[in-house]
Amino acid sequence: MPRTLRVVHKLWIAVAALVIALTAVLGIAGHRYQRQQADAEAARAQMDLRTQAALRWAGLTETNAARTLSVILSGEPLLEAQFKDAIAATSAQISETQKALAAMDLTDADKAQMARIAAARQATLDLRGQARQLAAGGRRDEAQALVLQRYQPAVGAYLQALREFAQSQSQAADALRAGTAAALQRTLLAAAGAIALMLAGVVAGGMVLIRGIQGPLAQANAVAARIAAGDLATPVPQGRGDEFGELLRSLHAMGESLARMVRQVRQGTDGIATASAEIAAGNQDLSTRTEQASGNLQQTAVAMDQFAGTIAQSVGSARQASALAASASDVARRGGEVVGGVVSTMEDIHASSRKIADIIGVIDSIAFQTNILALNAAVEAARAGEQGRGFAVVAGEVRSLAQRSASAAQEIKQLIGASVERVESGARLVQEAGTTMTDIVQSVQRVTDMIGEITAATTEQNARVAQVNQSVGALDQMTQQNAALVEESAAAAQSLRDQAQQLAQATALFRVAGTAAGGGGAPAPAPGQAAAMAPQGAIARAPATLPAHTLRAAPAAQRTPLPRPAAVRAPSAAVPLAARAARAAPAAKPALATAPAGKTRPAPAPATQAAGADSDWETF
C-alpha cells in the first residue's frame, strides 16, 4: 500500500474487502441453497400430490370393489339399487383422479406405470360389467363365480399397481431429499473453501499491514527515547502522509517546544539569580526602615498613653459636674413643687374670700329687706294709732338694727374686697414665682443634659483613644511582623537562589541545537550579592513578639513597602514576591479588634525552615 494512505483507510479497506468477500460467498451459497430448496420443494410437492392421488384412487377402487362384491354376492335388489349411484359417483371420482395424474409432469417410468394402472382398471371395469349383465340375466351363480374367480383377483392386481405407483413416488421423494442434502453439503464445502482462501488472504494482508505499522512505530519510539534522554537537536524523520507521519510531526513540534522551554528556563534562571540579589538588597533597606518605624511607633505609643490619662481625668471631672448638676436639678424641682403647693393654697384662699363676699352680700340684702319691712311696720303702726304705738317702737328698733347690720355688712364687704385684691395679687406673685421656678428647673435640666453629653463625648473620646492606642499597638506588632518577614524574605531569597541552581541543573540534561550539553546554566552570584542575601544583624535584633500564625494576619494595605532609594533598582521578580505576601495576608480588622492596647503577645523565634524550598515559599 502507498505510504501516503492513512492507517485508518488501510484498515477500512481490509475490513471492506473481507466484508465484501464474505458477503459474496454467503450470497452465492445462499442463492444456490435457496434455488435447490425451491426445486426440491416443488418436486416433492408434485410427488406428494401423485402419492396422495394414487392412495385416494386405491381407496376409491377398494370401496367400489367391495360394493360390487356385496351386490353380486348378496343378490339383493334393494342393495343393488342403493349402491348403484354410489358406484357410479365413485367411478367418476376415480376417472377425475386418473385424468389429474395423467396431466401432471410424469417421467417415462411413471407414464408406464400409469398405463399398466389404466389397463388394470379397464380389465376390472369389464369384469364388473360382465358380472352385472349375468346377474341382470338371472345367471347369478355365474356372476358370483366370475366375481370370485376373475374380478376379485383383477381388483387385487389393480390395487397392487396403484400401491406400487404410490411407493415409487415416495421413494423418488426420499431420493430427492437425499440429493438436496448432498447438494447442500457440496455448497457448504464450497463456501468453507472460499472462506479459507479468504482468511489466508486476510492473514497475508494483516502481515503486510503489521509490517507497515511496526516500522513507523519504531521510528516514533526512537524519537521519543531521544527526547526522553534530553536530545532535542537530532532531527525527526518526516515525509509520511498517514497517522504515523502526523505522530512524527507532533513529536518534532514537541521537541521544538521543549527546546524553546529549556532556553527560556535557562534565561529565567539568570533572571532569578539577579532578582534574588536585588531582593536581598531590598531586605536590607527594609530592615533599616523597619527599625525607624518601630522607634517612631514606640514614641507615639507613649504620647497616646499620656493623652489617654488626660482624657480619663477629663471624664472624671465631667462625671462629677454631671452629678452636681443632677443634684441642683433635683433641688430646683423640689422648690418648684413647693411653689406649686403655695399657688394651690393661694387659689383656695382666693376662692374662700369670694365665698365670704357672697355671704356678706346675702347678709346686706337681708338687712335691706328687714329695713323695708320695719319701715312698712312703722307706717302700719302709725295708721293704727294708739294700738300700734308699741309695735311702732319695736319696728323702729328693728329698723335701727337693720341699718346697723347693713352698715356692718358694708364695712365687712369693703374689708373682704381689699383682702381679695391682696390675695389675687399674692396669687399672681406666687404664679410668677412658680413660672420662674419651672424655668429654673428647665435651665438646670438643660445644663444637666449638656454636661451628660460632654461626659458621653469624653467617654467616647476615651474609647476612641483606647482604639487608637490598640491600633498603635497593632502597628507595633505589624512592625515586628515586618521584621520577621524580612528574615523570611532573606531565607526565601536564598531558597530562590538554590532553586535557580537546581533548575539550571535540571535543564542541563537537555541538549539544544546551537548549545553544548549542560550549557546555559545560571551564573553564580557575586560575593557582594551572596553577602547581601544573608540575614542582617539588625533584622536578627528585631523583636519577634507574635506567634508564627499571626505573622500572616497583617493586611496587605498595612504592608505597603517604603519607597526604595534611588540607588536600588526594583527587580522584576519582586513584584510577584510582594503579590504573594499580599495574598497570604488576611483581613486586618479582626487583628486590630483582638489585640489589647499596650500589650504584645510573645512569639517564637523567626522561622528557620529555609532548608525546604516549598515551605519557604509558602511562608514568604
The per-residue pLDDT for range 474-499, each reduced to its tens digit, is 887 888 788 788 778 878 877 877 88
Q: Which three cell numbers stand for residue 252?
A: 518534532
Q: What are the angstrom distances between the C-alpha of 584 and each of 377, 566, 571, 603, 607?
A: 126, 29, 21, 19, 16
C-alpha count within 13 angstroms, C-beta hemisphere, residue 176: 19
Whether residue 524 is predicted with pLDDT greater than 60 in this model: the reply is no
What per-residue confidence (pLDDT) applies to 7?
62
Least-confidence region, from 265-269, 277-281, 509-513, 613-617 = 613-617
CA dist., res. 478 & res. 603, Å (int): 13
Coil/strand/helix, residue 511: strand
Would you give the distance in Å from CA 55 to the centre of its chain? Answer: 84
Q: Per residue in 208-228, pLDDT tens?
A: 777 777 777 777 788 788 777
Among 19-23, 57-61, 134-138, 317-321, top mean pLDDT goes to: 57-61
Beta-carbon contacts of 308 under 8 Å, excluding residues fewer than 6 positions away, are 462, 465, 466, 469
pLDDT, tens digit (0-9, with 9 covering 90-100), for 118-154: 888 888 888 888 877 887 777 878 878 888 888 888 8
Question: Where do the domains of the chain lie?
Answer: 7-221
Instruction: Return the CATH fold of 7-221.
Output: Four Helix Bundle (Hemerythrin (Met), subunit A) (1.20.120)
* Residues 241-261, mean pLDDT to the nearest whole number: 77
- Residues paired with 231 in a beta bridge: 511
pLDDT value for 5: 61
Inform me whether the pLDDT recorded for 162 exceeds 80. Answer: yes
Nearest to 254 by CA among 227, 226, 283, 286: 227
Q: What is the per-residue DSSP string for 353-410? A: HHHHHHHHHHHHHHHHHHHHHHHHHHHHHHHHTTTTHHHHHHHHHHHHHHHHHHHHHH
Residue 581 and residue 457 in contact, taking contact as beta carbons nearer than 8 Å: no
pLDDT for position 1: 53
Q: What is the pLDDT of residues 531-562, one digit of tens each?
A: 444 444 433 344 433 343 333 433 433 444 44
Q: Are 184 and 33 in contact (CB under 8 A)?
A: yes
For the chain, the average pLDDT equals: 71
pLDDT tops 70 at residue 24:
yes
% of the chain beyond a pLDDT of 90:
0
402-420 residue pLDDT tens:
787 778 877 887 887 787 7
pLDDT at 601 over 50: no
Is residue 614 scored above 70 in pLDDT?
no
Q: What is the pLDDT of residue 412?
A: 84
Q: Which grid coordinates are listed for 477?
A: 506588632
Over residues 569-593, the pLDDT tens digits come to 433 443 343 444 344 444 333 333 3
3-state secondary structure of 75: coil
CB atoms within 10 A of CB 163: 13
The CA distance from 499 to 481, in Å, is 26
